[in-house]
Structure 1
């Protein structure tokens, strides 16, 4: 398959930007999926100027009319869903069924947002004065910078771009350097859907050369970011210097699945395999800590380890592959570091993950799962507190529900949590006492749906979730009061009498 030459998309035109960089298939580094422009700050400035100009006319359209453009985009995703799925798999490595799920989630988001165009986007409230009507309206903020990660290269961009433009904002989209070709495909569909020039702009490049200028740009009113804790925190700090600039960040997790003493072990084992190893553990919601009641732990561990050893690792374009490669060679080094830390901190290694370099794995970033166990929880350990973002999983025996939640909460993060139990009173207690943004019962810690908020607490986010929740971040809720009387009457008893 010939490499795809991606371009920037600014003011409705495809543009080059001097130098290019390659996007390689992480399952086969000899394959160049495509090339993309290595853009600079001037390209980001041009994109912001285009978006700022387009904002003045785009905001004048009704929500319904803007939703019609999004509906046209949804129809194109549906038409090309298999092409998008294959691109996702080739560029970010996850197996084809996950690539297809990524594309389907993008479709679902487009359908959901298009439907919101005909839903109420403001409401009337009673004034204290009967002759007045009071309204609360949503008004767009302006130019929104959307900075997205590689691991959901079609889904997450739609989470942030589509609600932004539905509300009347315009967008500059900066995708991850690892997946520029999927981003290019999305922009082709936006172009084909007929969006007016400047409503959505795409600028490829690095975080330093493109992302940083966007974050600091005086004409960017809001920043929607999904990525690492360090970068998210930096963006928050930069934006804090401009009182008008709003940031919504989603920044990873050290997620846990809690298996209580009454758990159905079939559900527990399957949930923990899915939660830990889909996308090779490279999801912000991946389970990296399995917190198991001691009464069940020996049998759970035996069955879990048996299943993990059956996982087939390889090129995701093959139908029988469960787990693909890590996104880049640096991910292998990080995985090695976390594994070494687990050993240093006294873990019992149950499945000793290996770097896979022979045969079909020779040219990819392949590793096998690493699973370990602590007999007694250790606080202040690196391996149990820091995000590994790889197939690296701890089993932690605990005594009872309260200790399970205490262990789960013992991290700076608070993104995703699953609890496996047959007792509704127990899951309700866990629901109310664990620190998380996404909670699941008798399910894996993965599996978000687009009509639900997606975000975390503590170091996982700043309380402004993506997907369904983005409308709150990209609009101002403004008050508007109308007087129908022939005189001015004030709610607090003020008078016009001189």
Structure 2
């Protein structure tokens, strides 16, 4: 049985606090198993955590950037040491298969290694001036206190996407993990302490939406980094609008799709579609709720996809034979089943009925079978426009490439897409005409590499991508111009005569 170095507690300015209230973290594969109990942060505790980060900011900002980077080198070594423990804890708390959790730990490790490496990279550059006696520079500076609010489905990698660039650049942080994954969030925080990050540089605050709102509403927070639903992200942006110098970087879900052209390699297309739709039980922000399939190959593709989908093994995340595990909790079960029913009401031809698994092996968990249906595109259909966040998949036929572009763009989201084709001209057309933040060719529409930006457009994001792309959100650029002459000469020919 896994155990924690500390019981569920907040950590503010390096001191552990038991807090009040109780959030029970349960194993979604077996709801009888309680992973741990965690406090609910109050407004007073939120104020205290932000104050601790604000107090630590001047010294951390003045610390050599190379010394800050060295903290991440130590953190990387600790993560490598604890990889299997972290993966197993994650699998038990959020229900992802052990292989997925191992991959996520490696992804988090890669982010830490990337941050360590960029510690010796330039933080600005030299720009020529109009005046030969002048040197002009652009330099990045940290904002201050960063609030990091993260999701349950990537409870290890996503916090590192956010905390890594923030802390390296000289900001301090208050980290609030999801109430659905507090155990892995706390364990990650413990690793930061072990790596030698100074007290107050990073602070841990458990809690729910009320805790998060108190954190966001604090005027001493300079930047809010958030990954989660559009509804919560919109609320964060609304609250932050009251603070004149607040930066918000928000990644807020999707209705991603894979576009399968009639020249596609069918087996590759089936693999890409299945992985995009059902990995993590469809609970990735980039999961494909839609497969757009050209009419000429629709029947052949659908037949092969259904054959493979029926073979998917669903079960205990710790059993490495399983392709996927449960959804996160009972509310998620009900939401997915509601959308399954809605697809029928909206006229879908159901090809595979998604339902709750209630046999002996699965009855104590939140297990669902895939729901697959064929439906013609129409702007009025909700089930192909709204994010379901579960094993719910629409197969949508299209005639022309322009039709596919129109269908793909006809949602309020724009996070991820993939196109399956052997024609480089089609690849370019979709790249230019579809609205997305991350695109793939002959690949699933899920997956990320930390040296690339991760974010989207429309309701999927607000122009501040995460991972490597986050640096521009957690720093601001300053201009610095130095005159080496013995008199003043101005640009644009401005006269200086008195």
Q: Show the counterpart of 2:440.
A: 440
CA distance in 1, matches of 2:20, 2:341: 42
Pairs within 5 Å for 1:310-459: 310-374=311-375, 376-459=376-459
CA distance in 2, matches of 1:295, 1:457: 31
CA distance in 2, matches of 1:369, 1:270: 15
- 1:445-494 CA deviation, whole Å, 9 max, x = no partner? 10111000000001101011000111000001110100000011110222
CA distance in 2, matches of 1:171, 1:107: 19
CA distance in 2, matches of 1:18, 1:292: 52
CA distance in 1, matches of 2:470, 2:8: 28
Pairs within 5 Å for 1:200-239: 200-208=202-210, 210-239=211-240
Residues 1:468 and 2:481 are matched in the alignment: no
Q: How many residues align?
A: 496
Q: Show the counterpart of 1:170.
A: 172
CA distance in 2, matches of 1:84, 1:121: 33
1:2 Cα deviation from its structure 2 partner? 5.9
Q: Show the counterpart of 2:73.
A: 71
CA distance in 1, matches of 2:452, 2:11: 30
Residues 1:182 and 2:184 are matched in the alignment: yes
CA distance in 1, matches of 2:31, 2:341: 26
Check the 8 A contact 1:3/1:35 in 2, yes or no: no
CA distance in 2, matches of 1:216, 1:77: 33
User: Which SS does the other structure have where 2:222 is aligned?
Assistant: strand
Q: Show the counterpart of 2:310.
A: 309
1:8 Cα deviation from its structure 2 partner? 1.0
Pairs within 5 Å for 1:197-276: 197-208=199-210, 210-276=211-277
1:3 Cα deviation from its structure 2 partner? 5.8
**Selected match of 1:112 from 99, 114, 136:** 114
CA distance in 2, matches of 1:378, 1:306: 27
CA distance in 1, matches of 2:160, 2:452: 14
1:495 Cα deviation from its structure 2 partner? 2.9
1:149 Cα deviation from its structure 2 partner? 0.2
1:378 Cα deviation from its structure 2 partner? 2.0
CA distance in 1, matches of 2:217, 2:181: 24
Residues 1:80 and 2:70 are matched in the alignment: no
**Selected match of 1:59 from 58, 61, 74:** 61
User: Which SS does the other structure have where 1:35 is aligned?
Assistant: strand
User: Which SS does the other structure have where 1:361 is aligned?
Assistant: coil
Residues 1:278 and 2:276 are matched in the alignment: no
1:401 Cα deviation from its structure 2 partner? 1.4
CA distance in 2, matches of 1:449, 1:341: 35
Q: Show the counterpart of 2:30.
A: 28
1:294 Cα deviation from its structure 2 partner? 0.5
1:405 Cα deviation from its structure 2 partner? 1.1
CA distance in 2, matches of 1:46, 1:428: 51
- 1:422-443 CA deviation, whole Å, 9 max, x = no partner? 0111101110000100100000
CA distance in 1, matches of 2:71, 2:366: 39
Q: Show the counterpart of 1:131.
A: 133
Residues 1:158 and 2:160 are matched in the alignment: yes
Check the 8 A contact 1:326/1:367 in 2, yes or no: yes
Q: Show the counterpart of 1:146.
A: 148
1:47 Cα deviation from its structure 2 partner? 0.7
CA distance in 1, matches of 2:242, 2:446: 35
1:398 Cα deviation from its structure 2 partner? 0.6
Gaps of 5+ in 2: none
Gaps of 5+ in 1: none
User: Which SS does the other structure have where 1:349 is aligned?
Assistant: strand
CA distance in 2, matches of 1:84, 1:6: 16
- 1:231-288 CA deviation, whole Å, 9 max, x = no partner? 1011111111211000000000001000001001111000011000111000000011
Q: Show the counterpart of 1:17.
A: 19
1:354 Cα deviation from its structure 2 partner? 1.3
User: Which SS does the other structure have where 2:493 is aligned?
Assistant: coil
Check the 8 A contact 1:260/1:400 in 2, yes or no: no
1:188 Cα deviation from its structure 2 partner? 1.1
TM-score by length of 2: 0.98
Check the 8 A contact 1:3/1:34 in 2, yes or no: no
CA distance in 2, matches of 1:59, 1:367: 48
**Greater Cα offset, 173-182 or 234-243:** 234-243
Structure 1's consecutive aligned runs of 4 or more residues displaced over 3 angstroms after TM superposition are none
CA distance in 1, matches of 2:304, 2:146: 48
CA distance in 2, matches of 1:58, 1:320: 46
CA distance in 2, matches of 1:494, 1:427: 51
